[in-house]
Amino acid sequence: MGRRIKIKKIVETTRRQVTFSKRRTCLLKKVKEIAICCDVDVLFVAFSSANRLSKFCSQRRIEDMLQRYIELPIERRLTYMN
């Protein structure tokens, strides 16, 4: 994506926020696309510790999504950390 950067925290605040804004826009677009094209319900949330704001995109109300997740048996919760 443009000039290559290393995947690590961007130290400079302004640059980090600009990058967040740009990437968030594209990410939301892709989240919406996979939901529509692949007929899945998706949820995306981002917490910025500094700004305390959240974003998400879903086909259903967020509460429904969370409820569905919570009701899912543990063994079906496939998790990718990091």
Partner DNA sequence: GCAGCTATATATAAGTA
Partner DNA sequence: TTACTTATATATAGCTG
Please, what is the minimum distance in Å from the beta carbon of residue 26 to its own copies?
8
Q: Verify binding: residue 49, DNA, rule CB under 7 A.
A: no
**Dist CA 10 CA 35 (whole Å):** 30
Q: Residue 41 binds which entry of its own copies, DNA, none, with Cβ cut-offs from 5 to 8 Å by kind?
A: its own copies
Please, what is the minimum distance in Å from the beta carbon of residue 12 to its own copies?
11
Phi-psi region of 77 (alpha: psi -120 to 50; beta: other; left: phi over 0): beta
For residue 34, what are its two tokens?
């996979």
Question: How many whole angstroms from its chain centre is CA 29?
Answer: 11
Question: How many whole angstroms from its chain centre is CA 23?
Answer: 10
Q: Which of residues 63-82 bind its own copies (CB under 8 A)?
A: 65-66, 68-70, 72, 76-82
The site for its own copies (CB under 8 A) is made up of: 5, 7-10, 16-17, 19-20, 23-24, 26-28, 30-50, 52-59, 62, 65-66, 68-70, 72, 76-82
